[in-house]
Structure 1
Amino acid sequence: MTVITTFKERRREKEMKYERKVMSGISLEKLYKEMMRYFQPLMFYSTKNNRSVEEGCLDIAVEAFLLGAKYSRFGYYGEQEEKVRARSEKEGKKLVSALFDYLSFWTEDHYELPTGDGLYMLCEAYVDGWWTEGFRFGKKRYALKLS
């Protein structure tokens, strides 16, 4: 007897399988280094547990990486990176807003960092950087027929 599954369940299984494969292209060390590069000045302003701030930043980085990898299929088939980024802009903005809200909660109300950048702009650059990293990694996987 065969097991009947719904389309949504099957799609979610395929997404999870793809995400597990893509996660091989990102190391915890690299995630941590990039997080410190962007948010080291912010850790000084954290009034609460720095570990919580780090975990939130790393979580958003992984989500942005996976989002870029998910949309890399369009880049592999010839679409320009800017157009692909526009396709995923809605999800990307949600990640930026989530990171901004998270950091605003865990830090004091210092929206201007010593570098002169606003916190929202810093969050935007962080998410965009990881999106691009995921996009390029996913595009390379498609080119090598690893997906």
Structure 2
Amino acid sequence: MNVVYNLGERRRKKQWKFERSMLRSLSIHEMRNDAERTFFSGQIGETVGTLYLMDFCLDIGIDAYLLGSEYARFGYFGETAEQAEKRCEEELNALTGQTASQFTAWYTGGERSIDEHRKKSSAFIKKWWKKGFTEGEKKYRLRLH
């Protein structure tokens, strides 16, 4: 009996398995609280825009966390977090740009507001990327990948 494996499919399944295992160690409650502190600290009440943006922040935070965990492989092989972060700088900038654009679209406030949204977005994304990197590195060290 001949068995033919599709290498791309096998890689994709391995990646999904790794991502699922990483998501088990992620606290959505902690991420939600962090997003509230970072982006919504001065607002009172919940509006449709706030609820939408909170969901968007959680999605972006999860993406940053998984991206960090994916690049943790380089940390396992001896690179520092800063070196690994430079490898995925383009993806992190894209996530930061998307987040800042969403906040700018919902809250108008001029040029100063755009810079403020970009700074907050960058800090939030880098924080969750770093957490994903740290957790991923632990999994690689324990050979749980």
Query: Which residues of structure 2 form unaligned runs of 5+?
Result: none
Residue 80 of structure 1 deviates from its aligned partner by: 1.4
1:78 is paired with a residue of what secondary structure?
coil
RMSD: 2.2
Query: Which residues of structure 1 form unaligned runs of 5+?
Result: none
Q: Does 1:72 align with 2:98?
A: no
Structure 2 distance, partners of 1:103, 1:5, is 45
Residues 3, 32 of structure 1: alpha-carbon distance in 2 compared, 3 angstrom cutoff: farther
Structure 1 distance, partners of 2:43, 2:14, is 37
1:118 is paired with a residue of what secondary structure?
helix
Residues 42, 112 of structure 1: alpha-carbon distance in 2 compared, 3 angstrom cutoff: farther
Residues 40, 6 of structure 1: alpha-carbon distance in 2 compared, 3 angstrom cutoff: same
Correspondence for 2:128 among 99, 119, 130: 130
% identity of equivalent residues:
32
Residue 106 of structure 1 deviates from its aligned partner by: 2.2
Q: Which amino acid aligns with 2:107?
A: T
Q: Which amino acid aligns with 2:7?
A: F
Superposition pairs of residues 33-48 of structure 1, within 5 angstroms: 33-41=33-41, 43=43, 48=48
Superposition pairs of residues 62-141 of structure 1, within 5 angstroms: 62-109=62-109, 112=112, 118-141=116-139
TM-score between both structures, scaled by the size of structure 1: 0.86
Structure 2 distance, partners of 1:3, 1:104, is 53
2:78 is paired with a residue of what secondary structure?
coil
- How many residues are aligned here? 143
